[in-house]
């Protein structure tokens, strides 16, 4: 998936520098002092203001801390990580990592499994691909034949019977909706479907005003007996993008575990689920620097702000850098996490990561905490046992939930 950044001003800066060169050339022909004075005035009046404007538009690194490794306050987690790091795992020579990467759901998927048979490993990776493709085909709002598109088209006319899986996804969404006091709300899409980040398009204020009353999961009626979904308003649309990838990485890992795999990782964009450890030591999962994402450096380490040792868990990061554009008029970052209260993207956080046993929870929770922000987000995650969070605010301030410690 590509992010769209519309920056202007770069050319102005370049042209100004060229003009300065020309002024300096004149110095050779005319008197030294008058040319120098002219050059200084030119830089003060034209070049510096343009360059200041340019630097405002260019994403800068606002994070005042060094890269570091987090640890956990929980003694049992620390013990597990420690024991794993110290354990001597027999590594039969034929075992190695098999890796596959491919684009899906508007993002990059990567799967890695530890196996001793090349053929078997490739077959399993193929099954992972197929499983994730199936999930995308079912829940994509962009595919007219997906089950989700059918529900969006018809659920306000009559209750729509859905699969067990679809029903479970909606139930999960409603659970997070309630826990987050409406911050996570799949009906955000009633307005949200009008955003197109690749084309830098957003709904107008009038469009938002007309559709915002349709946002609110209270408008979704479920019938457990018939396993059906009904919308009370014809303007309601749902989108499961806030939890489908976490669900997909869980499904892939379940498939691999059932096939006897002991060590694996599956990531889809900001959602990762790990199986076991990294053969004798914990996986070290990095959290991206939200303003260095996509930087030209190939150095993975440089693009991370912190690393977390993890075993057998999931981590999801919601960031304002995944899909966004900069509004030409307001210079605001318009991104893909929408506050259901306003129908617009939120502007307090840059990145929120949630760690815990299941991607099916970490994914919607990271989106919910992103909308809730520092204070309310922290309050919510502290109430959910087994789950931790890392918040990075727009001003670069960082907060951790109580189960994580930032070693000084």
Q: What is the DSSP letter of 44?
A: I
Which of 188, 195, 321, 325 is in the footprint of ligand ADP by CB under 6 A?
188
Please name which of 1, 266, 238 lies closest in space to residue 132, comparing C-alpha atoms. 266
User: 239 is in the binding site of which of Mg ion, ligand ADP, none (Cβ under 5 to 8 A by kind)?
Assistant: ligand ADP
Q: What is the DSSP letter of 184?
A: S
Give, in order, the Cα–Cα distances in Å from 262 to each of 91, 96, 279, 314, 365: 13, 12, 9, 15, 27
List alpha helices for 234-313, DSSP H.
244-258
User: 186 is in the binding site of which of Mg ion, ligand ADP, none (Cβ under 5 to 8 A by kind)?
Assistant: ligand ADP
Cβ distance to ligand ADP smaller for residue 239 or 277: 239
For residues 227 and 161, the answer to whether their CB atoms sit within 8 Å is yes
Which of 139, 184, 278, 321 is in the footprint of ligand ADP by CB under 6 A?
184
| Neighbouring residues of 162: CB distance < 8 A, sequence distance ≥ 6 | 147, 151, 170, 227, 228, 229
Angstrom distance (rounded) from CA 255 to CA 259: 6
The β-bridge partners of 69 are 307
Which of 203, 219, 241, 377 is in the footprint of ligand ADP by CB under 6 A?
241
320-379 residues near ligand ADP, rule: CB under 6 A: 322, 336-338, 340, 363, 366-367, 370-371
Range in contact with Mg ion (rule: CB under 5 A) among 81-89, 182-190, 235-243, 387-395: 235-243
Range in contact with Mg ion (rule: CB under 5 A) among 153-161, 219-227, 281-289, 364-372: 364-372
Q: What is the DSSP letter of 114?
A: E
Strand 68-69 relative to strand 304-310, pairing:
parallel
The β-bridge partners of 353 are 317, 390
Which of 363, 369, 391, 400 is in the footprint of Mg ion by CB under 5 A?
363
Tokens, residue 62: 């606002």
Neighbours of 75 (CB within 10 A): 8
| Alpha carbon of residue 273 to chain centroid | 14
Which of 138, 251, 267, 318 is in the footprint of ligand ADP by CB under 6 A?
318
Count the site residues for ligand ADP by CB under 6 A: 23
Nearest-approach distance from CB 370 to ligand ADP, in angstroms: 6
Q: Is 276 in the site for ligand ADP (CB under 6 A)?
A: no
Cβ distance to ligand ADP smaller for residue 275 or 371: 371
Range in contact with Mg ion (rule: CB under 5 A) among 20-28, 72-80, 200-208, 315-323: 315-323
Cβ distance to Mg ion smaller for residue 47 or 392: 392
For residues 58 and 7, the answer to whether their CB atoms sit within 8 Å is yes
Nearest-approach distance from CB 316 to ligand ADP, in angstroms: 6
Q: Is 267 in the site for ligand ADP (CB under 6 A)?
A: no
Nearest-approach distance from CB 90 to ligand ADP, in angstroms: 37
Nearest-approach distance from CB 300 to ligand ADP, in angstroms: 19
Q: Is 182 in the site for ligand ADP (CB under 6 A)?
A: no
For residues 152 and 141, the answer to whether their CB atoms sit within 8 Å is yes
Nearest-approach distance from CB 366 to Mg ion, in angstroms: 4
3-class SS shares of the chain: helix, strand, coil, % to 5 = 40, 25, 35
Q: CA 242, 324, 321 angle in degrees (round to 5)?
A: 75
Range in contact with ligand ADP (rule: CB under 6 A) among 28-36, 219-227, 241-249, 286-294: 241-249
| Neighbouring residues of 32: CB distance < 8 A, sequence distance ≥ 6 | none
Q: Is 366 in the site for Mg ion (CB under 5 A)?
A: yes
Angstrom distance (rounded) from CA 366 to CA 369: 5
Cβ distance to ligand ADP smaller for residue 239 or 388: 239
Q: Is 269 in the site for ligand ADP (CB under 6 A)?
A: yes
- Per-residue mark of binding to Mg ion, 60-79 (x: CB under 5 A): --------------------
Nearest-approach distance from CB 338 to ligand ADP, in angstroms: 4
Nearest-approach distance from CB 304 to Mg ion, in angstroms: 19
Angstrom distance (rounded) from CA 168 to CA 178: 15
Tokens, residue 179: 């826990």
Binding site for ligand ADP (CB under 6 A): 184-186, 188, 239, 241-242, 245, 269-271, 316, 318, 322, 336-338, 340, 363, 366-367, 370-371
């Amino acid at each position: 998936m590509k992010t769209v950044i519309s920056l202007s001003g770069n050319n102005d800066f370049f042209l100004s520098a060229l003009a300065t060169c020309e002024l300096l050339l004149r110095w050779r022909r005319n008197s030294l002092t008058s040319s120098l004075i002219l050059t200084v005035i030119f830089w003060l009046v034209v070049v510096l203001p343009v360059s200041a404007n340019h630097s405002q538009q260019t994403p800068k690194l606002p994070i005042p801390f060094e890269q570091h490794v987090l640890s956990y306050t929980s003694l049992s987690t620390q013990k597990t990580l420690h024991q794993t790091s110290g354990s001597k795992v027999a590594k039969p020579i034929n075992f190695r990592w098999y890796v596959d990467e491919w684009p899906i759901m508007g993002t990059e998927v990567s799967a890695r499994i530890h196996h001793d048979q090349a053929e078997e490993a490739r077959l399993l990776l193929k099954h992972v691909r197929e499983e994730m493709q199936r999930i995308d085909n079912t829940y994509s709002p962009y595919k007219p034949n997906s089950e989700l598109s059918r529900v969006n088209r018809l659920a306000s006319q009559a209750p729509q019977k859905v699969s067990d899986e679809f029903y479970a996804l909606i139930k999960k969404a409603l659970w997070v909706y309630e826990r987050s006091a409406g911050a996570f709300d799949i009906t955000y899409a009633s307005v949200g479907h009008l955003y197109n980040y690749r084309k830098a398009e957003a709904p107008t204020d009038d469009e938002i005003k007309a559709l915002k009353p349709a946002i609110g999961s209270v408008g979704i009626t479920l019938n457990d007996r018939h396993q059906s979904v009904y919308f009370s308003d014809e303007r309601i649309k749902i989108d499961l993008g806030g939890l489908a990838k976490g669900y997909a990485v869980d499904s892939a890992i379940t498939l691999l575990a059932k096939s006897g795999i002991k060590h694996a990782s599956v990531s889809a964009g900001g959602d990762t689920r790990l199986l076991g450890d990294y053969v004798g030591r914990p996986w070290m999962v990095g959290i991206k620097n939200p303003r260095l994402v996509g930087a030209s450096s190939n150095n993975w380490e440089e693009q991370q702000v912190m690393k977390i040792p993890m075993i057998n868990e999931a981590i999801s990061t919601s960031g304002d850098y995944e899909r966004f554009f900069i509004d030409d008029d307001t210079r605001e970052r318009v991104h893909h996490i929408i506050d259901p209260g306003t129908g617009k993207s939120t502007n307090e956080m840059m990145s929120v990561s949630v760690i815990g046993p299941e991607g099916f929870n970490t994914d919607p929770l990271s989106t919910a905490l992103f909308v809730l922000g520092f204070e309310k987000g922290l309050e919510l995650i502290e109430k959910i046992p087994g789950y931790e969070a890392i918040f990075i605010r727009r001003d670069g301030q960082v907060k951790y939930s109580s189960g994580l410690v930032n070693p000084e």
